[in-house]
């Protein structure tokens, strides 16, 4: 049983202007149709911690059919495990969910205890208890400019504390991906994992195998392409999760934090990011080692075999696998062929970035790095 204590906190933390006006328009439509509606979760957590939210989610007492009736053709039902509605406003898609029940009568569980379906609707108090972490169980009423907090989430954001709602072992069993979410939120808050969280992950880590490959890839993007990749890796590498998700990755390799720091810099500069570069970085030492040892197998086959093996643990879309292969195979060309036409190939920039990362550990690559750096400056 989770104890709740309602606190209505006047919002002195952020201006309403920080919220996309289109989200507020959707909120207004639901309220005008006599439904309760609040902004919820990560967007409130990010606003409280002075970060720019990636997106804004809404929660309401309207059930999916009622939401669709309000927004008609602008609404679409999505999700198998937890049915939600995507509502379109201009070119923005907003996720609108219904308050969930804290009772388990309407849930289907798999043999391992993972929730397969959850269609039990409830009220806001039950919904708060159903969320995973206290810092995600925050609700914002833009009409009253008020934060509704049942589980001390506001205080935990201030403390940069990531805490499960309810028994950690139970919440992880329901959805093992929550272990990665705990690490991601801790990285965003620039906080080390608590000893209790470390213990929970240690005892439950093997359960990550039951998470679908597609969901792992979606979480992978959030972990490493949100500007906190270095923090994330520092936390991840202290657990056994990397070897379970990326078994071909050498977590001790010094190139990884260097490359992830480069990714974080690109994020801050609003430059394009690709999951393929991060995958190429994590698995490069394996490819390089296997290529060096093999006397008969060609590099392209080695690349395909590594990525095929990895794809059995975490789904990697074909276009990204092809991109990773091109990044790896271009390394030799960048070291042996000073053909200026190479910098016109689509995968050149990512391959060059990996070469620069490698150059941090291997100074013999400096002349090649300088050549390609200068060729880009001159536009040759």
Known catalytic residues are 55, 57, 132
Reading the block at residue 5, the tokens are 């204590």
Decide: 173 and 109 in contact? Cβ < 8 Å: no
Phi-psi region of 273 (alpha: psi -120 to 50; beta: other; left: phi over 0): beta
Q: Strand 57-60 relative to strand 84-89: parallel, antiparallel, unpaired? A: unpaired
Q: What are phi and psi of 87, to 5 degrees?
A: -115, 130
How many Cβ atoms from other residues are within 10 Å of residue 332's Cβ?
11
Residues composing the chain: 380
Decide: 166 and 177 in contact? Cβ < 8 Å: no
E strand map for the chain:
7-10, 37-40, 57-60, 75-78, 84-89, 92-98, 107-109, 115-118, 138-141, 146-149
Q: What share of the chain is helix, strand, coil (3-state, %, to 5)?
A: 55, 15, 35
Beta bridge partners of 57: 40, 95
Separation CA 204–CA 284 (nearest Å): 29
- 3-state SS class at 219: helix
Reading the block at residue 122, the tokens are 């409830």
Decide: 188 and 232 in contact? Cβ < 8 Å: no
């Amino acid at each position: 049983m989770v104890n709740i204590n309602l606190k209505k906190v006047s919002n002195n933390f952020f201006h309403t202007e920080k919220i996309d006006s289109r989200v507020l328009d959707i909120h207004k439509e639901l309220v005008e149709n006599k439904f309760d509606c609040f902004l919820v979760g990560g967007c409130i957590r990010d606003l409280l911690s002075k970060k720019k939210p990636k997106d804004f989610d809404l929660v309401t007492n309207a059930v999916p059919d009622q939401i669709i009736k309000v927004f008609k053709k602008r609404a679409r039902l999505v999700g198998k495990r937890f049915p939600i509605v995507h509502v379109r406003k201009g070119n923005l898609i907003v996720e609108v969910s219904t308050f969930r029940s804290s009772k388990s009568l309407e849930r289907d569980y798999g043999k391992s205890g993972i929730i397969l379906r959850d269609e039990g609707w409830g009220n806001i108090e039950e919904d708060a208890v159903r969320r995973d972490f206290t810092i995600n169980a925050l609700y914002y009423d833009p009409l009253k400019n008020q934060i509704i907090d049942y589980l001390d989430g506001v205080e935990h954001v201030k403390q940069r504390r990531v805490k499960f709602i309810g028994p950690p072992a139970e919440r992880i069993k329901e959805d093992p991906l929550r272990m990665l979410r705990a690490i991601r939120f801790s990285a965003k808050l620039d906080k080390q994992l608590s000893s209790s969280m470390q213990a929970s992950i240690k005892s439950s880590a093997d359960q990550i195998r039951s998470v679908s490959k597609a969901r792992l890839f979606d979480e992978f993007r959030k972990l490493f392409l949100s500007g906190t990749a270095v923090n994330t890796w520092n936390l991840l590498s202290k657990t056994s999760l990397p070897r379970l998700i990326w078994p071909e990755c050498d977590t001790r390799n010094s190139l990884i934090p260097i490359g992830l720091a480069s990714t974080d810099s690109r994020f801050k500069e609003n430059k394009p990011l690709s999951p393929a570069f991060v995958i190429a970085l994590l698995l490069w030492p394996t490819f390089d080692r296997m290529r060096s040892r093999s006397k008969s197998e060609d590099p392209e086959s080695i690349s395909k075999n590594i990525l095929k093996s990895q794809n059995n643990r975490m789904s990697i879309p074909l276009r990204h696998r092809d991109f990773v292969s091109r990044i790896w195979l271009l390394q030799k060309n960048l070291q042996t062929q000073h053909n200026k036409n190479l910098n016109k190939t689509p995968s050149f920039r990512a391959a060059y970035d990996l070469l620069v990362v490698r150059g941090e550990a291997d100074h013999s690559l400096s002349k090649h790095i300088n050549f390609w750096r200068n060729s880009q400056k001159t536009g040759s």
